Structure 1
Amino acid sequence: MDAALTIPRGVAQVDFQSSYWTGLLFIIALFVGGWQFGVFGLLGTVTATLTAYLLGITKDRVSMGLEGFNGTLIGVGLVLYLGADWMTVALVIGAAVAGSVLTSAMNTVLTPYNLPTFTAPFCVVTTVVVLGAPSFERLWSGAPDLPPPSAADPGTAMSWSDFWRGSFNGVGQVFFQDKWYVGLIFLAGLAVASRLVAAAAFVSSVIGLLVGWWFGAQAADLGAGLYGYNPVLTGIALTGTFVLLSRAGVVYAVIGAATAAGLTAGLTDLFDVLGGHTLTWPFVLVSWVFLAAVPLFSNLRRAP
């Protein structure tokens, strides 16, 4: 039973939660978004978790799902960018194994600095695979064309529909989902684990959306949640998860979420030139910087 619950915990750990009920709701949300996201997300989770177990990672990390969540995102990301076929199945398995090894390597490097790996292994592996995929016909032939929503609907005038859909989509886009009701299921999963975490996620999504709107981002992209998901992860990380909850901590989390939204635009433009994708790089980079700075701020404390 413990081994079986490790898999939903791995999915839940994408948002830093260890509740298997949260993970089960996340899995349901993925299947609601599309069968391929559910299947490939689970394939990545199982592969990464099994790899860590076979290589001898400590039982506590495996059972808490800490070795599975990068595999989840690798599976969902690669099926989105490369399409659902047997070549992608093989690639997800190989990429999840690589992600598991990279997770341990990055833990070795970052632990002395008291910094988590976050989703950096997923970002590195997925970026390398997507950048290299066009060189391989069997990988790239089934890749779908994925223009941003603003390509078909340009304009910066945000409507009420863009606002409320984007608020929920920001939560769902952590898992590459752009249907508002899927984001709502993810939000419900977070509420099962912690109402504080759910509130932090939703507020952070709104912050990201408003920052994008303030600077004049494309309304369709805002409505799709593309400026919300990195603030969501940053907000959760800095609101009680890795920084103790306090008034100063809440302000710090708001600043972090806004910074992640701003960095999203810059990295999106950079990866557009390179042929890659923004992924969760803004969250990883902003959270590393903000956590590294905490020891010098007397009003902030790292969570144990």
Structure 2
Amino acid sequence: MRGGLAFGVRVLRGLAQVMLLDDARAGAVFGLALLAADWRYGVYALGGAALGTGAASVLGVARGRIRTGLEGFNSCLTALGFAVFLDASRPATMLLAVAACLVVTVVTATVVRLLQVWELPTLTLPYCVLACAVLVAAPAFRRIRPPGPSIAALPRVASGPTVLRPQDVGGAFFRNLSQVFFLDEWYAGALLLVGLFLASRVAGWMACSGSATGIVTAWALEAPAARIADGTMGYNAVLVALALCGVFLSATPATLTYALLGAATATALTPAAAALLSPSGGRPLTWPFVLTTLAFLAAARAFPRITGARTPAAPRPGPPAPT
């Protein structure tokens, strides 16, 4: 019984780690948000987190990673992504999700080994790599390809009204959070925000700041109002803001500014990623979050005011060398 409870807590932490949190309570609220939007998505997400956590345990991954949910969030997103893009009700999708959750555990170990050289986190890079590969390859296999026409398409020039109405802004604010889990419902985003504040007030306020920055940036660049309102322009901004102020960098006025700059950058990168991947049937997923966060974390080491590191004092001149 005790072992089962401990495993359940680790699975919930896997859900929470999608939003960079180590808090089972937040994970429980996130699971509730998924179930409220579509019970199948909740099952896939929880099942994916459980499979990833279980596989890592069997393979002997470091206990610290398993205990904090770091082996569950990539498998959670992988299973959930397949449910959304490949039809959750198909048996083939279920089997593929199970297999992919096991494979992403291997991919995660590879990425951990590669990025530890630069002391950088894996983030959702394993999920992005595997999910992109499967989505691009899916049309070649009748067993797993999604129903309907191919989703591959050439990029198009943005069209549609760019004037934001109050309901567009309100919907975008919450959907920027819900789209992290591929959810369109604004109330799912509100529940996710509750979970963030439950775990950390800093995380809650940074999620709000990241969402607002995504809206303002997309509006300033005259993105179509429909794209802003549905949250697909701003969800990466939320994740970047969380990562750069309070998670991987201490929460200070300097890192707040740095994080909001990163959030704006990720917003601008989102349509760029979509344009690069859409001709092959891929999706932007959280690629803008991964690329922006890794770049900003690597660069932060050159900025002592961001990292809080002291600049080494210049060496004092010594006595003149003998001639």
Which residue of the partner structure matches residue 117 of structure 2? 112
Shift of 1:166: 0.2
Superposed, 1:88-167 pairs within 5 Å as 88-142=93-147, 154-167=160-173
Residues 243 and 43 of structure 1, relative CA distance in 2, 3 Å threshold: same
Aligned amino acid, residue 47 of structure 1: L
Q: Distance in 2 between matches of 1:36 and 1:248?
A: 42
Shift of 1:4: 1.7
Which residue of the partner structure matches residue 235 of structure 1? 241
Normalising to structure 1: TM-score of the pair? 0.95
Superposed, 1:144-223 pairs within 5 Å as 154-223=160-229
Q: Distance in 2 between matches of 1:169 and 1:93?
A: 28
Aligned amino acid, residue 197 of structure 1: A
Moved more, 240-249 or 252-261: 240-249
Q: Distance in 1 between matches of 2:237 and 2:181?
A: 14
Is residue 58 of structure 2 the alignment partner of residue 54 of structure 1? yes
Superposed, 1:56-71 pairs within 5 Å as 56-71=60-75
Moved more, 38-47 or 275-284: 38-47
Q: Distance in 2 between matches of 1:49 and 1:143?
A: 34
8 Å Cα contact 2:85/2:146 also seen in 1 = no
CA RMSD of aligned residues (A): 2.0
Aligned amino acid, residue 248 of structure 2: F
Q: Any unmatched runs of 5+ in structure 1?
A: none
Task: Work out which of the two has the higher radius of gyration on C-alpha atoms and give 1 or 2.
Answer: 2
Shift of 1:207: 0.6
Q: Distance in 2 between matches of 1:258 and 1:301?
A: 20
8 Å Cα contact 1:201/1:233 also seen in 2 = yes
Q: Any unmatched runs of 5+ in structure 2?
A: 310-323
Give 4+ residue runs of structure 1 displaced > 2 Å after superposition: 141-147
Of 296, 308, 313, the match for 1:290: 296
Which residue of the partner structure matches residue 35 of structure 2? 31
Which residue of the partner structure matches residue 13 of structure 1? 17
Equivalences, count: 301
Richer in helix (by share): 1
Residues 108 and 196 of structure 1, relative CA distance in 2, 3 Å threshold: same
Q: Distance in 2 between matches of 1:273 and 1:161?
A: 32
Which residue of the partner structure matches residue 279 of structure 2? 273
SS in 1 for 2:307: coil
**Cα displacement string for residues 151-201 of structure 1 (whole angstroms, at most 9, x for unaligned residues):** 9x9322221111110010001111011111100000000010011101101
Of 27, 45, 48, the match for 1:44: 48
Q: Distance in 1 between matches of 2:144 and 2:254?
A: 48
8 Å Cα contact 1:81/1:144 also seen in 2 = no
**Cα displacement string for residues 242-268 of structure 1 (whole angstroms, at most 9, x for unaligned residues):** 012222111101100000001112111
8 Å Cα contact 2:139/2:150 also seen in 1 = no
SS in 1 for 2:250: coil
8 Å Cα contact 2:176/2:235 also seen in 1 = yes
Normalising to structure 2: TM-score of the pair? 0.89
SS in 2 for 1:22: helix
**Cα displacement string for residues 216-252 of structure 1 (whole angstroms, at most 9, x for unaligned residues):** 1111110011111100000000011101222211110
Q: Sequence identity, in percent?
A: 36
Q: Distance in 1 between matches of 2:121 and 2:28?
A: 24
Shift of 1:144: 8.6
Shift of 1:302: 7.2
Residues 143 and 205 of structure 1, relative CA distance in 2, 3 Å threshold: farther
Aligned amino acid, residue 134 of structure 1: P
